[in-house]
Chains A and B, each alone.
Chain A
């Protein structure tokens, strides 16, 4: 059997996505809920065990009581019994109180009919306090025509591929609406934070487009030629050549 290579070893982007994913943490309250759920399950199991014991004791009490009654009512002429009549009341009279309370607690359930904790299903599980639903995050104020460039997250965290994608997406949105300047601003930010990022090629091609969209044909041409020289076999080769011809045609 040939074991496949791991993609995480071959794709830097995928490795970063996985690394990013591994840093996601469950809501802080979940651990407390899980621990409480397991404790509730344990308490329910203990309670069930004690109920079984109470039933077992009640059963023994019933047997003893019936035995006592039988002995009391037994005809004397059948001969001496191993248990004397005087023994019987000691068995019969004290149990009523615990016996009654035990049978009242579970009046008609046999031991076998009790649910087995191991077969309990999701719907039967011990009650777990409901969690408070995550409050919807407050939306930022409506953006103006040019959405703000997202700022780098605070703290000493390593560069996040999510942020890189966000910057690239921001640049593309600006380009789509014809805002070459906003696109270049986002690309500048991207290039400064991720000079060798996962989307470096995409950023370069967009820079050619944004420069052209801004009317700087000579600049766009220079960028396109530089791109083709540095990346002669990139997936965007045809695209950049097309842009290059655009700079010549106009």
Chain B
């Protein structure tokens, strides 16, 4: 049987100035299948989907939908052609109800009432058809992230989308919610919808897709049947060389307690308690991983430890108490105490993007006598030190005079890591060490973290990637709503148990429904982080 593919892209090319984001890319996606697109950050996945969705116009190439040539000039045209997109960052109006969000931009007439009534009917139908249950009258700000994602999917389906593009859909979900999403996607596939799933997680590709395309540096390196490939092969196709997917490490030899936190509490500007009595210990020579859904207090924990948020309770470093509110509570005094900090958001906090690499290597350590000559800064010495550090951390290109923004995500992170780890700190705070970092660099960064541990240093690792927590940690603490839900050893737990803890459910031996998980998470209102 010869059916026309639901989507066919032929020879798509797109350049932004000298950068070729997409080079001669062709894909065929058959109807009723899930097609994965995998690739590192900057490989051109998002550009390609933006072309399909009408945000960008391709320099070259053609788009065919169900065999007919399509001219997608803007997102309106894409929607009319039956394409729906679920963005990584949801495009919802927080203080509108689910219904209002669904009809936004697709109202039938000047009066809202008939549209709302119609939408309510079709929402019920869609919910029944695909298992997409949401309360139509709930405000979006009151429902959890997983629910919000469902609203995005409903929005697309309400607009009669036959093709659904999902951009990194599981980034914000707990494992249970991700499973639920995949069940929905399966259901959609059974109903004949065509789905494109953009992700950088190999496991998701293997779990759910029928076919997968791998992108690297703007080119499509391969399109294969998922059943005929393996994670290792995909990783190799993504990076262009063999990569180690597991972290090689020996069992930890925990020593004395380095960091001792008791009853730590932090309030945000609105007076809402973000940390509600944290007790934690990190020992020398161990990596403590903090797991949790983003926005459950991990950022606040790092900020208060790093010296730029105030808190109450006690933090002792090597047995000595740290001042938590006074004038001397800042990043400088923390560094003097042997605490190094690789912040979660390297572009907003860890680096100054317009500064040269060497200026960034001095960042936070600019009072170091080695970087000084009299009242002036010894720029030559800093540059020399930077060249050195860049070499040891394999930063490419090794040019101290290049602005931070001109390095790739992985190399930016290596600059931050080099700056912090080379100080040989007693305690390393590290948040989202591999967010936006390519696979090749992930391997290196993980090795560096483990190496620091092996030198007998304490590491506090915060990550929303459960895989990363499982792979690196010697001990795992799970955070939910500003509290520690429990501690586990990686050898004695699994993703399912951690996932339940991440949703605040501590009796992990009993069965729990996904709805219960989502309900729990919905009560935690993540603080908005300005971009």
Binding partners A and B: no
A interface with B by C-beta (< 8 Å): none
B interface with A by C-beta (< 8 Å): none
